[in-house]
Chains A and B, each alone.
Chain A
Amino acid sequence: MNNAMSQKEIVRKSLKRRYRKEQRFKFYGILAIVIALSALVILFADIIGKGYTGFIKTTVTLEVQLDPEVMYLEDPTDAEAFSMADFKAPLVVALENQVSDATGKTAQRALGQLLNTYAANQLRDAVKADPGIMGTTQTMTFLAHDDVSVYVKHGDDPTYTVKLSEQQQAWVDQLVEAGVIENSFNDVFFSNGDSREPANAGVLGAIVGSLLTMLVTLLLSFPIGVAAAIYLEEFAPQNKLTDFIEVNINNLAAVPSIIFGLLGLAVFINLFGMPRSVPVVGGLVLTLMTLPTIIISSRAAIKSVPPSIREAAEGIGASKMQVVLHHVLPLALPGMLTGSIIGMAQALGETAPLLLIGMVAFIVDVPDGLFDSATVLPVQIFLWAGSPELAFIERASAAIMVLLAFLISMNAIAIWLRRRLERRW
């Protein structure tokens, strides 16, 4: 009795200590989550803070008088005269009308520098498309030079160097006042390929390149991965050979991705003679990289199908193949899809293996096929982050946001598919 009492006493005494321990344990858990979340918040705040201005473009809207005399272009259908015509002059004239005190050649040149390098090309293309506009006055919108854009967007931020002269700054202030220079949503960023002019640079080329590469990866890695997983789980005999294969697949999942790039270079480009920088080769390399992930997650999904389902199917006379195709596969599919999408998301963010097969390149044109030179989103970010022009820093951060949006939506699809297709027993 006495003994029991003291035991109760001991428990009662230690109870407080144990509760405290539990409190501390909970606190450590919360602390871990807070650290992880705050790291994420800092990352997002930094990227969004730096990058949101990448979604803003600065434009100049001008009343352009297409005066044949100013442009030295009497006959726009004459190819020779067309190539010798001055398409910059009417733009400078139109700017001159908007600002005060811009006289003389030097001032005109400085004024012309406010416009995007390819503004004259834009006018040339417009005249080429419709020679009838010669001699009329057109309201046209051009991109501003990125120095102007930096001044308008970041003029009071000391980390940005404003490269305009004082006179140019005064003009820009006047033009902003007059509503000629405006900021608006940067649609160019989503409709252009790469460019060395930050104002003209866009992610469309990289997005299309990523989609083409991912298409190849998905079409190859999902069927091969699922087939390999089914065979290994359901059909393969348990022997040394299958053990060996299993160990190797697990090892492959941990191999650094650049090794797959080396393999791709040696096999697909040097041995098969495929061209460099194309989405097919990129897709093949990323297939090799994602296969182990897909095989491992698919095998786990197949393993999680209860044996009772197989036994029941076999019990009513289904063949092995019927069991697999009619019962195991549909039930394992959500897990397989989730694994594949996570593998694909990993492949989407990969640059290292693509470096070796030539996809880290400056490509202006948006790719239009699997054998057309292309780059991918993370590579585009890498290239912009290394560019000397300050305006590319915000472009790089904006592209990171686009990439994150893709990754988040892929993961959301994975979760949605799992919720929708998952069955509980």
Chain B
Amino acid sequence: MTKLKAVVASVAVAGALAAVSTPTMARETINIVGSSTVYPFATVVAERFGRNTDFSTPKLESTGSGGGLKLFCDGVGTDTPDITNASRRMKPSEFERCNSNGVKDIVEVKIGSDGIVLASSQKAENLDISLKQIYLALAKEVPDPKGGDKLVANPYKNWSEIDSSLPNKPIRVMGPPPTSGTRDAFNELAMEGGCKEIDMIKAMEKDAMEQACQSIREDGAFVEAGENDNLIVQKLNSDPGAYGIFGYSFLEENAGTLQAATINGKEPTMENISSDAYPVARSLWFYVKKAHVGVVPGIAEYVGEFTSEGTWGDNGYLADVGLIPLERSARMEAAKNAKAMKTMTGDELK
């Protein structure tokens, strides 16, 4: 009995000590959270920054864009992150939450773009497809091909049933699950972009339209293959009849075995994604908490490293790992604003 008491008491004391002693610890390491899409780029910058300066290497957590912004907006203080990465822009609601929690001065930096590709093994027939055809191939419900203005369960089994120019092969696409930012972006850019080209859907009410545009079929033609893009790449190599949806950097790394579909007549190349000609591309961002600059050492220097030409420029090392750089003029502008730590007003999000 006494032993039990002693153990319980000592555990309680240890827990209390830990709780009391930690918040007072000043932080020497920059804490970064956020998008798993930006993670491979930000980690490279963080590591170089740690090795080339006297600051310690920033700690990077891959929490997803939404999770990162939530932590970021929890408040000011060394127990909250200094920087969050996002594969989409901050929402006005998130900006308001930040403000109401005392995170008032936020610096927004756009770092480049990422393309989402529809790729297959080089042994398969490559697709030359439009957004509308992608929508028709993957949506849960599509306009009745026999005519009429009703949505019916997707009847297409083979690509060629949608358009005779497409291969006469069964539709089989592997993609990320709904929790993934890549899936969000794919839904928004490819599915919604494609379905809005259909007049009948365009005439629908907003909620019904969103429902019709963003629901992906569940009859086996679309397979959720998990968050791990490497897994999709491996499956494509072993199954030449299948197509996969993933980020451009994975295509580049596997350029020897995979090929990507041409969408709306544009191939996913660096130039096409950078100039927004390729339709399924999104911008990547990070947000800095200005109140932490000078409190946690190295934040300004890290931002400086990230926005230098040798990092995010056309020949910078981020391009080597698959980041699509901004156009030079946009880059210069963004670097200038980042250096001056220009804060957001909230109006730019509207």
Contact = CB atoms under 8 A, between A and B. Distances in A.
Interface residues of A, number: 45
Nearest to B74: A270
A271 B321 CA distance: 40
Given A121-B52, A227-B4, A388-B250, A276 B61 contact: yes
A383 B230 CA distance: 11
Contact of A274 (B22, B31, B46, B57): B22
A390 B253 contact: yes
A276 B249 CA distance: 29
Contacts of B229: 386, 388
Contacts of B59: 277, 361-363, 373
Contacts of A162: 256
A169 B22 CA distance: 53
B227 A159 contact: no
Interface in A358-397: 358, 360-365, 371, 373, 383, 385-390, 393
B322 A388 contact: yes
A360 B62 contact: yes
A373 B62 CA distance: 14
B126 interface: no
Nearest to B226: A386
Given A161-B255, A220-B11, A362 B43 contact: yes
Contact of B47 (A159, A364, A387): A364
A295 to B, nearest CB: 13
Contacts of B56: 365
Interface string A192-233: 000111000000000000000000000010011001101100
A386 B253 CA distance: 13
Interface of A: 117-118, 121, 158-163, 195-197, 220, 223-224, 227-228, 230-231, 235, 272-277, 280, 284, 358, 360-365, 371, 373, 383, 385-390, 393
B256 A275 contact: no
A195 B61 CA distance: 14
B22 A224 contact: no
Contact of A158 (B29, B36, B255, B257): B257
A223 B7 contact: yes
Interface of B: 1, 3-4, 7-8, 11, 15, 18-19, 22-23, 25, 29, 31, 36, 39-40, 43-44, 46-48, 50-52, 56-57, 59-62, 79, 227-230, 237, 247, 249-250, 252-257, 317, 321-322
Contacts of B317: 117
25 contacts: A121-B51, A121-B52, A162-B256, A195-B47, A223-B7, A224-B11, A273-B79, A274-B19, A274-B22, A276-B79, A277-B61, A361-B60, A361-B61, A364-B57, A365-B50, A365-B56, A371-B22, A373-B29, A373-B59, A386-B36, A386-B228, A388-B230, A388-B247, A389-B321, A393-B230
Contacts of A280: 18
Decide if the interface of chain A is mainly helix, strand, loop or mixed: loop
Given A159-B257, A220-B11, A223-B7, 8 more contacts: A121-B51, A158-B257, A161-B253, A230-B4, A272-B18, A365-B57, A386-B229, A389-B321
A234 B230 CA distance: 53
Contacts of A277: 59, 61
Contacts of B29: 373
Contacts of B11: 220, 224
Contact of B51 (A118, A383, A388): A118
A364 B25 contact: no
A276 B60 CA distance: 11
Contact of A362 (B18, B39, B48): B39
Nearest to B56: A365
Contacts of A390: 253-254
A235 B79 contact: no
Contacts of B19: 272-274
Given A196-B40, A364-B50, A371 B25 contact: yes
Contacts of A389: 253, 321
A385 B228 contact: yes
Nearest to A231: B4
Given A362-B60, A364-B57, A385 B22 contact: no
B3 A227 contact: yes
Nearest to A396: B230
A159 B238 CA distance: 10
Contacts of B18: 272, 274, 280
A161 B22 contact: no
A264 to B, nearest CB: 12
A398 to B, nearest CB: 16
Nearest to A235: B1
Residue from B4, B257, B321 having most chain A Cβ neighbours under 10 A: B4
B254 A362 contact: no
B18 to A, nearest CB: 6
Contact of A385 (B1, B15, B44, B230): B230
Nearest to B62: A360
